[in-house]
């Protein structure tokens, strides 16, 4: 199998974590006799500085010509005073729109080894396994009109969805739920917003196509509480763009670390893969960053863009194994009362590579 991946490592810790994840992909490809073609381009702050724009045209062209785009992170404090359309984040939003993926899958899985890292009690988080399906191309992020009118001192954004936009993402969420525990929770604010009433009515229409899946609706405010009280109650959680952005960060409380969460965006011309965490400029370049979110994202590339399910599962099993063996990056070890072996970014990448190799050569473990 041949796979052409464009790496847009971006800012902050993006380059260090994607580097380790690409190393894991290369290991898997070598072992299985697959051909990986990796190209790298700039996006975000590093592109603003070098090319004067957060999404240079060569990056966009290379992205559209690839089988999968693997993004590290974008953003940095030095860009905070720029208007939204000039910031590093604008490059990512333009890229998302151009690639066309509208269903952002964000699995949040509570590794039992990391339960001590969650402020929630272990019996609350144990075995929690949620798949957020976040609509990625609509809502407030892209709705028009939008403006900050400095003369009048007003600003506005528009939360807009069409029925078809809701339908297509709901279908993906239901399909995924039908292959999991067959429960779908749709999140909205239908007690206040018309756009949420359309959302809820459309989700109910799509539900009729999937009689095997149980559907429930939750208001986003209540959902943010239920997620912390009873995370194990949820299987697939379907949200509009902003609600999913917020709830997926909140879910890091369940998994014990934002640094562990991967994501895949599907449904468009080219799938886009990005860890949920940000660019963490405070720890960039110090070898402290946790590459496991990026490595788990690499597993999603193999699963969703290469059809290599066994290899994807082997990477996920290896991450679990490495945690079981007591290896941690410093964010996971915290003050390290348990005396874990604390690894640098590169050492953690190497540890996962070794483990994946064993895993693929002797798949029984
Ligand atoms: C995310 C990020 C992005 C988003 C930013 C960087 C534009 O927070 O992927 O969750 O808001 O979608
Ligand atoms: Mn976010």
**So what's the pLDDT on residue 335?**
86
CA torsion, ordered 202, 205, 211, 216, to nearest 10 deg? 40
**So what's the pLDDT on residue 362?**
82
Give, for ligand 1, the residue of 96, 240, 245, 247 to mutate: max count of ligand atoms closer than 8 Å to Cβ.
245
**So what's the pLDDT on residue 337?**
86
- Mean of pLDDT over the chain: 96
**pLDDT tens-digit series, residues 311-365:** 999 999 999 999 999 999 999 998 888 899 999 999 999 999 999 999 999 865 4
Query: Residue 31 above 70 pLDDT?
Result: yes
Query: Residue 209 above 80 pLDDT?
Result: yes
Give the span between the Cα atoms of 44 and 90, in whole angstroms: 8
DSSP string for 44-87: THHHHHHHSSSS-HHHHHHHHTSSEEEEEE---GGGTTS-GGGS
135 CB near ligand 1 (under 6 Å): no
**So what's the pLDDT on residue 210?**
98
**pLDDT tens-digit series, residues 159-171:** 999 999 999 999 9
Cα(302) to centroid(ligand 2), Å? 23
250 close to 227: Cβ distance less than 8 angstroms: yes
* For residues 283-299, average pLDDT: 98
Determine which residue's CA is closest to atom 9 belonging to ligand 1: 276
**So what's the pLDDT on residue 353?**
98
If you search the block for the tokens 């600003």, which residue do you land on? 155
- Please state, for a pLDDT cut of 70, what percent of the chain lies above it: 99
Query: Residue 187 above 60 pLDDT?
Result: yes
Determine which residue's CA is closest to atom 8 belonging to ligand 1: 245
16 CB near ligand 1 (under 6 Å): no
Give, for ligand 1, the residue of 278, 281, 297 to mutate: max count of ligand atoms closer than 8 Å to Cβ.
278
**pLDDT tens-digit series, residues 61-97:** 999 999 999 999 999 999 999 999 999 999 999 999 9
316 CB near ligand 1 (under 6 Å): no
**Atom of ligand 1 at shortest distance to CA of 241?**
12
Give the span between the Cα atoms of 225 and 10, in whole angstroms: 33
Determine which residue's CA is closest to atom 11 belonging to ligand 1: 245
The token duo for 273 is 């893969």
Buried-exposed string 92-102: b where 16+ CB fall within 10 A, e elsewhere: bbbbbbbbbbb
**So what's the pLDDT on residue 364?**
55
**pLDDT tens-digit series, residues 249-270:** 999 999 989 999 999 999 999 9
Question: Shortest CA distance to 21 belongs to which of 253, 249, 312?
Answer: 312
**pLDDT tens-digit series, residues 97-136:** 999 999 999 999 999 999 999 999 999 999 999 999 999 9
* For residues 286-304, average pLDDT: 98
Give the span between the Cα atoms of 311 and 359, in whole angstroms: 9
* For residues 24-45, average pLDDT: 97
């Amino acid at each position: 199998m041949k796979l052409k991946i464009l790496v847009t490592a971006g800012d902050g810790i993006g380059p260090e974590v994607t580097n380790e994840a690409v190393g894991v992909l290369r290991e898997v490809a070598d072992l299985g006799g697959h051909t990986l073609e990796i190209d790298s381009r700039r996006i975000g702050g590093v592109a603003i500085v070098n090319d004067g724009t957060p999404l240079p045209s060569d990056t966009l062209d290379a992205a559209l010509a690839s089988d999968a785009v693997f993004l590290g992170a974008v953003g940095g404090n030095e860009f905070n005073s720029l208007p939204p359309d000039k910031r590093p984040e604008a490059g990512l939003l333009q890229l998302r729109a151009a690639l066309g993926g509208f269903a952002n899958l964000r699995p949040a899985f509570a590794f039992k080894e990391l339960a001590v890292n969650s402020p929630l009690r272990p019996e609350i988080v144990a075995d929690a396994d949620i798949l957020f399906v976040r609509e990625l191309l609509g809502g407030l992020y892209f709705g028009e009109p939008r403006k900050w009118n400095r003369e009048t001192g007003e600003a506005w954004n528009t939360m807009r969805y069409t029925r078809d936009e809701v339908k297509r993402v709901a279908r993906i969420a239901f399909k995924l739920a039908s292959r999991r525990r067959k429960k779908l929770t749709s999140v909205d604010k239908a007690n206040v917003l018309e756009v949420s009433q359309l959302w809820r009515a459309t989700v109910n229409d799509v539900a009729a196509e999937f009689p095997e899946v149980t559907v429930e609706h939750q208001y986003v405010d209540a959902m943010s509480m239920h997620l912390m009280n009873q995370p194990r109650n949820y299987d697939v959680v379907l949200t509009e763009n902003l609600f999913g952005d917020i709830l997926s960060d909140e879910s890091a409380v369940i998994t014990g670390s934002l640094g562990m969460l991967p994501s895949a965006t599907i449904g468009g011309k080219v799938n886009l893969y990005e860890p949920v965490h940000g660019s963490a400029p405070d720890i960039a370049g110090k070898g402290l960053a946790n590459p496991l979110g990026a490595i788990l994202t690499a597993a999603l590339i193999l699963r969703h863009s290469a059809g290599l399910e066994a290899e994807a599962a082997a990477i996920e099993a290896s991450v679990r194994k490495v945690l079981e063996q007591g290896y941690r990056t410093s964010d996971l070890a915290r003050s390290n009362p348990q005396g874990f072996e604390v690894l640098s970014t590169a050492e953690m990448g190497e540890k996962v590579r070794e483990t994946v190799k064993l895993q693929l050569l002797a798949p029984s473990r």
